[in-house]
Amino acid sequence: MTIRHRFTTALRGLTTNRSRSFLTILGIVIGITAIMLVVSLGAGAQALILGQVQGLGTNTIAIIPGRAPTGPSDTAQLYGDSLKVKDLVALQNKSNVPGLKSIMPTVLGADTASYGSNTYQVSIFGATDLMASIFDLNPTYGSFFTQDDVVSSNDVVVVGSKVVEHLFDNADANPVGQKIKIKGRNFKIVGSLPPSGGGSLFNFDSMAIMPYSTAQNYLLGIKYFQRIIIQAVSDAAVTVTADDISSTLRDSHGITDPTKDDFTVQTQQDLANRLSTITGALTWFLVAVASIALFVGGVGIMNIMLVAVTERTREIGLRKAIGATDSDILWQFLIEAIMLTVLGGVIGIILGSSLAFIIALILSRGLGVDWQFIFPWGGAALGFSVSAVIGLVFGGYPASKASKKSPIEALRYE
Amino acid sequence: MNIIEVKNLKKSYLDGETDTKALDGVTFSVRKGEFLAIMGPSGSGKSTLLHVLGMLDDPTSGKFIFDGKDIGSYSRDELAALRNNKVGFVFQSFNLLPRTSVLENAKLPLIYSDVPEHEWNQRAIKVVEAVGLGHRLHHEPSELSGGEKQRLAIARALINNPDIIFADEPTGNLDSKSGKNIMSILQRLNEDEGKTIVLITHETSTAEHAERIIRLMDGVIDSEELVAHRMTADAEYIK
């Protein structure tokens, strides 16, 4: 029997029982669809997050107070106030960090802002004028505050879209020139920001952004920074600059043992790698969950193939009586099972990627998220090969059972 | 020359803990071109004998020479090839593939043969027409009458031009008119084309189409007789 006839015989077996074939592959279709969906959406989410992180500039370096604890007795993470003005001065010294292009200390807080009788809980973000270029912020009205505002600790603020909406009763209002009150102090609005969008990693909608010096002196009452953001002169200079930052801060803090650092220097690449690892792990965890559906589908295939073998026992007997060998029968049923699972796999791949495409479309158009559809070639290859293997494994036992039947026992089967 | 020679053929089954002897030492031979009928009451071993002769079942002991060769040591695949090339089967219950056309059913043995594919259709149409189903080529078995189904089964048995046809109660599921039709076809195959036919039946009138009748009783040959006045095929069907 030629290979082509093995395939046509198997295909005829499947097409003569169309509804059963369809129901049989349903489990595989669902399993592969789920895997494709999860892998595609996972890749989309990863691309979105990484895109936003990298959008901050791959030459960006963040200094965070404290360090990742090495054990329960390691209290370094509590050094929340380790970054001070003297560190800023040391880092700005070109001989310490020659690769430094710009530096921006930041402070964070929260308080209630009011305008007339309206109040709104805002996040206070103290930074410098560099913030606009680092986070690519373009005010709808007005402009960002200036270097002079930072130096003079002026009472100026740039507000997010929700702050405008809640304080001025209208999201589209132009608040520039108005004064809002935070902690009893008047702040002049110099700019307002457009909505950040639902999928944005950094959401400035509820923020009141002001010079860090103003926030430190008048609102938070602190003398330290919660982050220092540094831009290196080039991507290539990031590693050297990060090392220079570490040694400068160690000198400034009198630390000789790097394991005792009370700060953490994090490059965008570190962050991107970490986020990539997290989203990747999450995706594969979900793939593992979806694989359970696939396994159940495989058991379903075996179940139906066993039923098919029993139901078609007389056919097996007849085929053997007219000259089919054991291997002809084995291949007939094995190819039937593999065809079923591969067909299920292909339908699942098409269905899963179509659903992922539709979801990407809804997210990007409907919700304004910059979500890209990514066809998961890896997921498709995995789905296709897993479904073929399932056919081989779960179809193998019924096929082997069918091939071993004696012709006369099979013919006599009632 | 004999196409089949069996000597002291035995076949027993384990029925629970009881050893049931279906064949208990059967010795006979079948000439090439002979029409042999095997008769016997239910449980006499006639079907078991046909299955062993048709290489669908193994004998427990004894010698089985087919076409001059002792097939006792043949592998399953070698037996399958013999069944494909040399043997045709006609079963009482037709055993046709459902939802498969007359033409495709007739062609079925060819997919396991060495016959080149370009000859398949031509061969199938020829045998289907030979049994009078030329107008039913693309019909499915469910659309055929009992007699037509059995004629299709005969066409399928003939497709590989076998030396011998084993017919297991071929008229058992048919009305008498269709039964006569089937017997006339088998008789023509024997007389005109020289096919050896081994027929199992419990009806004397059917057996009398054969040249010789072997009667089995309790797994042994009870009697053997030549048919003196062999029944001729119905004139209507010959026509």
Per-domain residue ranges of chain B = 2-238
Q: Which residue has the higher pLDDT, A136 or A322?
A: A322
Q: Looking at the complex, report in whole angstroms how far the Cα of residue B236 sits from the nearest Cα belonging to chain A.
A: 31
Which long-range contacts link A69-76 to residues 24+ away (Cβ below 8 Å)?
A: A70/A259, A76/A260, A76/A261, A76/A262
The reply to whether residue B99 touches residue A5, judged by beta carbons under 8 angstroms, is no
The reply to whether residue B112 touches residue A9, judged by beta carbons under 8 angstroms, is no
Q: Is B162 on the interface with A (CB under 8 A)?
A: no
Can you give the pLDDT at residue A125?
Answer: 92
Q: For chain B, what's the residue count?
A: 239
Q: The tokens of A19 are what?
A: 């509804």
Q: Is A40 on the interface with B (CB under 8 A)?
A: no
Q: The tokens of A228 are what?
A: 């220092």
Q: Is A410 on the interface with B (CB under 8 A)?
A: no
For the residues of B13-44, what is the DSSP string, one character each? EEETTEEEEEEEEEEEEEETT-EEEEE--TTS
Q: What type of residue sits at position A76?
A: A
pLDDT bracket for residue A292 (50, 70, 90):
confident
Q: The tokens of A234 are what?
A: 């080039």
Instruction: List the one residue out of B219, B221, B223 whose CA is nearest residue B19.
Output: B219
Residue of B nearest to A404 (CA): B76
**Is A315's pLDDT higher than 70?**
yes
Q: Is A359 on the interface with B (CB under 8 A)?
A: no
Mean pLDDT of A130-149: 88
pLDDT digits (tens, 9 = 90+) for B53-89: 999 999 999 999 999 999 988 999 999 999 999 999 9
> What is the SS3 string spanning A156-215?
EEEECHHHHHHHHCCCCCCCCCCEEEECCEEEEEEEECCCCCCCCCCCCCCEEEEEHHHH
Give the separation between CA A128 and CA A108, rounded to whole angstroms. 13
Instruction: Find out if CATH 3.40.50.300 is the number for domain B2-238.
Output: yes
Can you give the pLDDT at residue B39?
Answer: 94
Can you give the pLDDT at residue B149?
Answer: 92
Burial A361-391 (b: 16+ CB within 10 A, else e): eebbeeeebebebbebeebbebbbebbbebb
Lowest mean per-residue pLDDT among A195-199, A250-254, A294-298, B29-33:
A195-199
Q: Is B113 on the interface with A (CB under 8 A)?
A: yes
Can you give the pLDDT at residue A75?
Answer: 59
Q: Is B151 left (phi over 0), alpha (psi -120 to 50) or beta?
A: alpha
The reply to whether residue A323 touches residue B80, judged by beta carbons under 8 angstroms, is yes
Mean pLDDT of A86-111: 90
Q: Looking at the complex, report in whole angstroms how far the Cα of residue B229 sits from the nearest Cα belonging to chain A.
A: 34
In Å, the largest CA–CA distance within chain B is 55
Can you give the pLDDT at residue A78?
Answer: 60
Q: Is B116 on the interface with A (CB under 8 A)?
A: no
**Tokens 């007739």 identify what position?**
B106
Instruction: Decide if B127 contacts B146 (C-beta within 8 A).
Output: no
Q: The tokens of A235 are what?
A: 């991507």
At B174, is the secondary structure helix, strand, or coil?
coil
Give the separation between CA A38 and CA A376, rounded to whole angstroms. 9
Q: Is B238 on the interface with A (CB under 8 A)?
A: no
Q: Is B111 on the interface with A (CB under 8 A)?
A: yes
Paired with B167 in beta bridges are B90, B199
Instruction: List the one residue out of B132, B153, B72 whose CA is nearest residue A322.
Output: B153
For the residues of B151-168, what is the DSSP string, one character each? HHHHHHHHTT--SEEEEE
pTM for the full predicted model? 0.68
Can you give the pLDDT at residue B239?
Answer: 39
Instruction: Decide if A371 contacts A364 (C-beta within 8 A).
Output: yes
Instruction: Decide if A211 contacts A145 (C-beta within 8 A).
Output: yes
Q: The tokens of A305 are what?
A: 């193939």
Instruction: Decide if A69 contacts A55 (C-beta within 8 A).
Output: no
Q: The tokens of B145 are what?
A: 């009458």
Lowest mean per-residue pLDDT among A106-110, A276-280, B81-85:
A276-280
Residue of B nearest to A7 (CA): B111
For the residues of B65-107, what is the DSSP string, one character each? EETTEEGGG--HHHHHHHHHHHEEEE-TT--PPTTS-HHHHHH
pLDDT bracket for residue B235 (50, 70, 90):
very low
Q: Is B95 on the interface with A (CB under 8 A)?
A: yes
- The CA–CA distances, whole Å, from B20 to A114, A152, A183, A332 equal 102, 112, 104, 35
Contacting residues of B for A5, CB less than 8 Å apart? 111
The reply to whether residue B85 touches residue A9, judged by beta carbons under 8 angstroms, is no
Angle at A181 between CA A180 and CA A187, to 5 degrees: 60
Cβ-based neighbours of A29, under 8 Å, separated by 6 or more: A297, A344, A347, A348, A351
At B233, is the secondary structure helix, strand, or coil?
coil
At A255, is the secondary structure helix, strand, or coil?
coil
Can you give the pLDDT at residue B124?
Answer: 93
Can you give the pLDDT at residue A135?
Answer: 80
Residue of B nearest to A14 (CA): B99
Lowest mean per-residue pLDDT among A178-192, A374-388, B7-21, B191-205:
A374-388
Q: Mean pLDDT score of chain A, rounded to an integer?
A: 85
Q: Tell me the helix, strand and coil percentages in chain B, rounded to 5.
A: 40, 30, 35
**Tokens 């609102």 identify what position?**
A219
pLDDT digits (tens, 9 = 90+) for B176-225: 888 888 888 889 889 888 999 999 998 888 898 899 999 999 999 999 99
Can you give the pLDDT at residue A55?
Answer: 67
Instruction: Decide if A214 contacts A180 (C-beta within 8 A).
Output: no
Q: Is A67 on the interface with B (CB under 8 A)?
A: no
Cβ-based neighbours of A92, under 8 Å, separated by 6 or more: A100, A103
Q: The tokens of B146 are what?
A: 């009992």
The reply to whether residue B81 touches residue A323, judged by beta carbons under 8 angstroms, is yes
Residue of A nearest to B79 (CA): A323
Q: Which residue has the higher pLDDT, A57 or B171?
A: B171
Q: Which residue has the higher pLDDT, B101 or A288?
A: B101
Lowest mean per-residue pLDDT among B12-21, B98-107, B125-134:
B12-21
How many H-runs (helices) and E-runs (strands) does chain A carry? Answer: 13, 10
Mean pLDDT of A166-179: 90
Angle at B57 between CA B53 and CA B62, to 5 degrees: 65
| Backbone φ, ψ for residue A269 (5° rounding) | -65, -40
Q: What type of residue sits at position A371?
A: W
Can you give the pLDDT at residue B238?
Answer: 42
Mean pLDDT of B98-109: 92
pLDDT digits (tens, 9 = 90+) for A252-266: 988 888 888 888 888
Give the separation between CA B88 and CA A291, rounded to whole angstroms. 49
The reply to whether residue B112 touches residue A324, judged by beta carbons under 8 angstroms, is yes
pLDDT digits (tens, 9 = 90+) for A49-69: 777 776 667 788 889 888 766
Q: Mean pLDDT score of chain B, rounded to an integer?
A: 89
pLDDT digits (tens, 9 = 90+) for A117-139: 999 999 999 999 988 888 878 89
**Tokens 């992180």 identify what position?**
A53
**Is A374's pLDDT higher than 80?**
yes
Give the separation between CA A28 and CA A30, rounded to whole angstroms. 5
For the residues of A349-404, what is the DSSP string, one character each? HHHHHHHHHHHHHIIIIIS---PPP---HHHHHHHHHHHHHHHHHHHHHHHHHHHT
